[in-house]
Amino acid sequence: MTRYKHADFTDDDSVGSVQLTEGINTSATHIRYHTGTSMWKRRSMLEKSLLVLVGTLLFVVVVLGMLLNSADRRIQDARTVHISSEYGKQQPCLNETCIHIASNILESMDSTVKPCDDFYAYACNGWIKKNPIPDGKTSWSTFFKLEQQNQLVIKHVLDQPIDTLKSKAEQKAKLYYESCLDLNETIETLGAKPMLDLLIKIDGWNISKSNFSATGCSLQKTLQVIQNKYYIGALFSYAVGEDDRNSSRHVIQIDQSGLTLPTRQYYLNKTEHGKVIEAYLDYMIKVGVLLGGNLNETKTQMQAVLDFETRLANITTPSELRRDEESLYNLMTIKELQELAGFIDWRAFFENAMRVVNKKIFSKEQVVVYAPEYLSNLTLLIKEYNETQDGRIILNNYLIWQTVRTYTGCLSKAFRDAYKGLRKVLIGSEGGEEPQWRFCVTDTNNALGFAIGAIFVREVFHGDSKNHAQKMINEVRNAFKKNFKNLKWMDPETREAAEIKADAISDMIGYPDFIQNPKLLDERYHNLTVRNDTYFENNIQLNYYNLVKNLEKINEPVNKTTWSMFPSTVNAYYTPGKNQMVFPAGILQSPFYDSKYPASLNFGGMGVVMGHELTHGFDDQGREFDKDGNLHQWWNNNTIDLFKNRTECFTKQYSKYQINGKNLNGNQTLGENIADNGGLKAAYHAYLEYTKGKPDPPPLPGIDLTHKQLFFLAFAQVWCSTVTVETANLEIVKDPHSPAKYRVIGSLTNLKEFSEEFKCSAETRMNPKEKCEVW
């Protein structure tokens, strides 16, 4: 799941508007079941008896077929866990939902693997065998299956006549979608022209020879154009977000930025990543030539740009060293920022930015700088390049390249093809096999996500899901808090404050209310102009629209009910500055949640997600923010030391795990690992509390597992997935989450209740002697 830190700051995971981290950090699976109970009441007793008999016979045939098709596995069933309890006496649940659930669970499992040896393989090998990565994809998972189901829902509506849509905002979404589909082949007809026209507007580019003057180029002017008009983060990025130390107000935030490739390691470790650098340079050259550059001159100039980016990478702080929020936060005036990093006139830069929203900036205006050392080193680097005309040209070439590569995905096929080689090296696939409409549905959701959210919610999200989710959140929260008394490392004062914070975490479920009001939804997108035949220009307009929406927040009070994720998204997030959890409608579906599912599956799926986001409020970064979302020390010093000692256990544990012979970075994934472990534990104990005093539900047919065991199986099967070698390697260096396999294995090996339920003997792989625990 996602955890947002600073407002609107996200790592740039794309090159040429194509996602590099496809399959990383996203969503979930969906297969819906319907029982048709309304027709049942109208049957005669004879009909009902016959239907029950036929249904039972059909079930027997299905189960026998499954048994015969997996005879080899069943011979080894003695190796799996069997529980000789009251489950052996109970009749299994034989309704349609239970049969479907059981069928899907069995198909995903591999009973030849002992659950105490490798629970991920036990839960997911069957799924992996039956779900090879589709052509053109770099990964495949239960997450993507659900996303594709959601895409079908949205496509069905967007394909309808425009006058059937409920609001102007939804109509704009349809127009954007059609521009992406390029039904009139406008994109191909225009070719490079939209980009060449843009280059002229920003005073040209030396590589394309389009209206460029070396004597007239100015770093200040170029930065103001690309950052304050086209919203391109080059050299640094800035945004307006909640002040970490005073979450009721907005403040300008400045951070390091400017690398095209997903992580600095690609630039600095050429022994391991030499092929990536070669492919990146090749991509740069192809684009330069497509825009009119001479081949040999383009090679020389693009190599110089790459060399500059490499030097930027060298002064960029690795993400794993940026986890201490206290040390990252540096509040200063614009005047003090000028003294720290004088490579541009910062007051003039921000005055230029704020003109679009008619707001003033003064030298005493406060900003938060998250990378002062980077900006200081950047000043020295730019000074070196500014000393010669050739150096100034390289700087300008770099800045314009950042603009060009952002929009090449909006150009003709030749530009998109230029990217394929780099994409192949980075994530293991050239792409292009997916139907264009799927890409365009995703792109439209990214562009006008609340308009798409209104469509999605209207089509598939039902009110009872929201009510049930609210109850489950409270049950998980209560279990999480109840465990505080067992934490011997916590002093009483900190424990009490932590309970107050847990109670104060607000939860947003499904969607923001305004999307169901066409007037309010239209107001949201009032200033966005969209046409169905100008895809490139639509993206220019969209970036400017997002820039203005962000700048409008300066000097305005913080609204802690705003959403940073769209309703159809299959994900969830926690925001420390708002002390808020958000669970979009997109994730409140099977396998995470279904009102017809047994509680064991719902708590193992959605309950763990809720526990995960809740625990983010108390991970190594979230714990630094108090109940009001303000960054300051509110823990006892000794408790902080004991907490850090416990987190070191996680760092060491996950750093020992390997994918493709490469060790994970346990420090980089620390926050997510803490959330995975804490969320699993909280959800399991919430489930135990939920079932206390209730009769045991009937077992699922053909599955010799208790519902407590099914809780863990449901949790694991949510993460069934497969990825290319390249994407897996990218995850290791880039993703703050551990790979799916170790999100399952790591969490379960640390939870003694798992080993108890599956009767794992001491020192089996899933029941190691040393267990890590924080929450």
For residues 173 and 456, give the distance between their C-alpha atoms in angstroms, rounded to a whole number: 12
Establish whether the linkage from the previous residue to 591 is cis, with ω within 30° of 0: yes
**What are the distances in angstroms from CA 1 to CA 48, 447, 610, 735?**
45, 21, 10, 11
For residues 6 and 621, the answer to whether their CB atoms sit within 8 Å is: no
Give the pair of three-digit tokens for residue 474.
């409270």
Q: Which residue is it, tokens 């541009």?
A: 344
H helix or E strand, kind and range, residue 722: strand 721-723
For residues 443 and 439, give the distance between their C-alpha atoms in angstroms, rounded to a whole number: 6
Active-site position among 537, 676, 726, 735: 676
For 332, phi then psi, to 5°, come to -155, 165
Sheet holding 2-3, edge to edge: 2-3, 573-575, 580-584, 506-510
For residue 134, the SS3 value is: coil
Three-state SS sequence of 266-324: HHHCHHHHHHHHHHHHHHHHHHHHHCCCCHHHHHHHHHHHHHHHHHHHHHCCCHHHCCC
CB atoms inside a 10 Å sphere around CB 54:
10
Give the pair of three-digit tokens for residue 491.
């002093």
For residues 113 and 120, give the distance between their C-alpha atoms in angstroms, rounded to a whole number: 9
H helix or E strand, kind and range, residue 333: strand 331-333
Interacting residues of 717 by C-beta distance below 8 A, sequence separation 6+: 105, 108, 123, 124, 127, 142, 591
H helix or E strand, kind and range, residue 352: helix 346-354
For residues 286 and 284, give the distance between their C-alpha atoms in angstroms, rounded to a whole number: 6
613 belongs to the catalytic site: yes
For residues 541 and 499, give the distance between their C-alpha atoms in angstroms, rounded to a whole number: 45
170 belongs to the catalytic site: no
Strands 580-584 and 14-15: unpaired
Helical residues (DSSP H) of 564-636, grouped into ranges? 599-602, 608-616
Partners of 466 in beta bridges: none
For residues 299 and 291, give the distance between their C-alpha atoms in angstroms, rounded to a whole number: 13
Q: Report which of 263, 191, 199, 268 is spatially closest to residue 15, judged by C-alpha positions.
A: 263
Active-site position among 613, 619, 620, 624: 613
Give the pair of three-digit tokens for residue 68.
């015969």
Residues with catalytic function: 613, 676
